[in-house]
Amino acid sequence: MTAVFTPSLFDAVPDDTGRVAADALPTGPADVSWAALHRTELDERSWVDVVPGWMPGADVWFHELAVEVAWNQRRRRMFTQEIVEPRLTCGWALDEAPSPAEHLAAALVDRYREPFDRVSANFYRDGADSVAWHGDRVRFVHPRPVVAIVSLGAPRRFGLRALAGGDTRWLTLCGGDLLVMGGRCQHEWQHTVPKEPGAGPRISVTFRHGDRGPAGARTERARDVPAWALR
């Protein structure tokens, strides 16, 4: 059975008045709200949670990250060519990530019971920046990883498609929204942020866990997996 996304979450119109407070960042897990959470079962094995307006002070954090982070633009080799990724990136261990990342991670751990310990960010400077269809590489070390994305800045479309085929699912993420992918989503589905002419700057902050097992469990990371696979 494949559920259909509700119109209220997909292609949503951003709130011009600002859905979240722009004058204060979270100081603890209790500062975020799960009241608007909506789960969609993509299929029998994969699911997506969307929480509009999850993070207060999202605009403040967007501006801090945009200005203060030492952003990189990575190069990748594809076949015989070297390409420049059409976005800026950065990544941290959780205890080195910019505040309030640790508070947000604590809230995610409380809800999803996974040891989120890595944070990365993509900076889409305008609508020409994008990320192609992919599944996150944490799938190499976890059979059912949970990946959480906090969207900051301008609204952008986010797509999901099953590797087995079928219709592409689209939603629009606005500043402060949270999207969480779980189950077999990274193994059996792909996601993308496509180019979008006229779109404003956006930062996505992603929380991942590299170890297997529930939060609090001491587990051994797969030794044959390179470090880049955990980012």
Write the pLDDT tens digit of every residue in 108-122: 999 999 999 999 999
Q: Is residue 14 in some structural domain?
A: no
Q: Residue 96 pLDDT > 80, yes or no? A: yes
Q: Is residue 188 part of a domain?
A: yes
Give me the CATH number covering residue 42. Answer: 2.60.120.590
pLDDT at 74 over 70: yes
Question: Is 113 part of any domain?
Answer: yes
Give the pLDDT of residue 77. 78
pLDDT of residue 45: 97
pTM: 0.80
Question: Per residue, what are the HEC states of the chain?
Answer: CCCCCCCCCCCCCCCCCCCCCCCCCCCCHHHCCCCCCEEEECCCCEEEEEECCCCCCHHHHHHHHHHHCCCECCEEEECCEEEECCCEEEEEEHHHCCCCHHHHHHHHHHHHCCCCCEEEEEEECCCCCCEEEECCHHHHCCCCCCEEEEEEECCEEEEEEECCCCCCEEEEECCCCEEEEEECHHHHEEEEECCCCCCCCEEEEEEECCCCCCCCCCCCCCCCCCHHHHC
Q: What is the pLDDT of residues 16-60, one digit of tens each?
A: 444 434 456 888 776 788 999 999 999 999 999 999 999 999 999
By mean pLDDT, which of 20-24, 85-89, 174-178 is the weakest?
A: 20-24
Question: What is the reported pLDDT for 25?
Answer: 85
Mean model confidence pLDDT for the chain: 83
Greater confidence (211 vs 147) lies with 147
Q: Average of pLDDT values for 123-138?
A: 93
CB under 8 A, 24+ apart: contacts of 65-68: 65/98, 65/121, 65/123, 65/152, 65/203, 65/205, 66/123, 66/153, 66/201, 66/203, 68/98
**Whole-angstrom distance, CA of residue 204 vs CA of residue 93:** 16
User: Is pLDDT of 6 > 50?
Assistant: no
Domain presence at residue 75: no
Residue at 24 is within a domain: no
Give the range of the structural domain holding residue 145, as residue numbers without chain letter: 38-70+80-213+225-230
Asked whether residue 32 is domain-assigned, the answer is no
In a domain, 19, yes or no: no
In tens, the pLDDT along 198-229 reads 999 999 999 999 754 444 333 333 333 333 33
**pLDDT given for residue 121 in this prediction:** 98
Give the Cα separation of 188 and 228 in Å (integer): 21
Domain count, the chain: 1
Q: Is residue 23 part of a domain?
A: no
